Amino acid sequence: MTRVAIITGGSRGIGRAAARRLAADGYALAIAYASNAAEAEDAVREAKAAGGQAVAHRADVADENQVAALFDAAEETFGGVDVVVHAAGRLVLSPIAELDLDVLDQLHRTNIRGTFVVDQQAALRVRAGGAIINFSTSVLGLSLPGYGAYAASKGAVEAITMILARELRGKDITVNAIAPGPTATAMFLDGKDPETIARMTAQPPLERLGAPEDIAEVVAFLAGPARWVNGQVLRANGGIA
């Protein structure tokens, strides 16, 4: 039986690399995106070229009705859901003292409510033998200035992940989070000057930024063979923390 994965944030960055990687393993994919239909269709074409089946579906991850419709589409198209990769997220950088609280609310709507909504549907719909994979950040261990709102949202993601893993006792479904370090995606690179990027590139002992493909390998591990890894946060950061 073909395994089926839903990937939120699948039109770009880490989500798109994860779609290519799971497609190479033969998955059928429902690639969810927020607004850019052209990028989502490109991601679908890449997934098909890598050897998988794929469709694109627009959904606001914080809207429970749209997320339910996303799961409906995956079930109707491919027959069920085995893996959920929740890679959608938002990053805002600002000192805590200066952050507009409306921006804070928007960030937390996507990162916290979005994770809760997606995980809620996943808990109800993922088949036995499946996996739920959330995304945190290694910034939680680094406590970098400017990342207060973002790190706070990802602390909530880790809490949701740990608790859901325990609530799904007896279901044969693993729940884990990946916490990337600095990774060369548009979300990370946008708004950073060359000096900041160079400094963060030099941080890991491997002396480079992560690539989306590095994180996609961790996704593939948790989605498939890693059945004894459950209720964990995997810090995929090249050794910085």
Question: Which residues are part of the catalytic machinery?
Answer: 150
Cβ contact 174:229 at 8 Å? yes
Which residue, chain included where needed, has tokens 């937390």?
108
Token pair 């794929």 is found at 54
Burial 112-123 (b: 16+ CB within 10 A, else e): bbbbbbbbebbb
> What tokens does 164 get?
């859901």
**Burial class for 162, CB neighbours closer than 10 Å (0-12, 13-18, 19+):** middle
DSSP string across 53-119: EEEEEE--TT-HHHHHHHHHHHHHHHS-EEEEEE---------GGG--HHHHHHHHIIIIIHHHHHH
Q: 9, 118 in Cβ contact below 8 A?
A: no
- Provide the residue type at 170 as one letter: G
Amino acid occupying residue 106: Q
